[in-house]
Amino acid sequence: MRLLLISNSTNPGEAYLDYPKEHIRDFLGIKTKNALFIPYAAVTFSYDEYEEKVNSRFAEIGHHVTSIHRFINPVEAIENADAIVVGGGNTWQLVKTLQEKGLMKVIRKRVRKGLPYIGWSAGSNIACPTLRTTNDMPIVEPKKFKTLKLVPFQINPHYLDDHPANHGGETREMRIREFIEINRDIFVVGLREGTMLLLEKNELSLIGSRNARIFKYGQDPRELSSEDDFSFLLSEPFNL
């Protein structure tokens, strides 16, 4: 499989998709002509607007996407795509829509056979076995929490270390510790903003200047950098 799983679309003070655009270009290469965009995580803006927003950045790197909502037969669109690009937004809405349209299995099948997959935020979250490490509010109720299961670990996009002043609630780390207390056999990757995971040739690596924080029940959290090999995460069973 070939996956590029991006924590966030926009860093503070930067344009949309600016920091990952060169990595997206390199990942897609020059042969990708028919990249299919999945905009279903959008809630407060239209699919047309989302497609235009992504294309405004992709044009800078010599690529173009066509949103799946433009096709009468979305399954056929996936079957004919050269790459799948899944945008961020609300993970619950994204999962519910993919389930209702019967698209989870066809995306999984094609990507497992080598179709390049790019996702950011919610789009990276659904590459995991479930959506249960999303940060998003469950504004809708999908049929089930299971997602694409392209990797056997969970990602927490936008991972934050901060505990804001005057905030008495749980930190992100505390929430993840709750998850691994119940799900003891699975790793969670706290993917900080400005970073992404790249899977190619059965090797998993981190791209970006910030570390990723790795959680597993019974182990102290680990800080790993782009110099480290993340491929050990691929050996875990799909047990959710």
Tokens of residue 12, six digits: 């503070």
**The pLDDT value given to residue 238:** 44
Residue 240 covered by a domain:
no
Residue 136 covered by a domain:
yes
DSSP state of 150: S
Residue 63 covered by a domain:
yes
Cα 44 to chain centroid distance, Å, stands at 20
Residue 48 covered by a domain:
yes
CATH number at residue 80: 3.40.50.880
- Give the end-to-end CA distance of the chain in Å, rounded to a whole number: 20
pTM of the model: 0.95
Residue 122 covered by a domain:
yes
Q: What gap in Å lies between CA 41 and CA 98, rounded to an integer? A: 10
**The pLDDT value given to residue 161:** 86
27 and 50 Cβ atoms separated by less than 8 Å: no
Residues of the chain with pLDDT under 70: 163-169, 236-240
Please give the residue range of the domain that contains residue 162: 3-235
Total tally of structural domains belonging to the chain? 1
The per-residue pLDDT for range 148-173, each reduced to its tens digit, is 999 999 999 999 987 666 666 678 99
| Helix, strand or coil, per DSSP, at residue 171 | coil
Residue 102 covered by a domain:
yes
**The pLDDT value given to residue 162:** 73
Residue 99 covered by a domain:
yes
Q: Which residues are catalytic?
A: 121, 136, 158
Q: What gap in Å lies between CA 6 and CA 218, rounded to an integer? A: 27
Tokens of residue 167, six digits: 């905030």
The per-residue pLDDT for range 128-139, each reduced to its tens digit, is 999 999 999 999
Q: What gap in Å lies between CA 145 and CA 166, rounded to an integer? A: 32
**The pLDDT value given to residue 30:** 79
Residue in this structure with the two tokens 């927003």, named with its chain if needed: 53
**The pLDDT value given to residue 166:** 65
Residue 161 covered by a domain:
yes
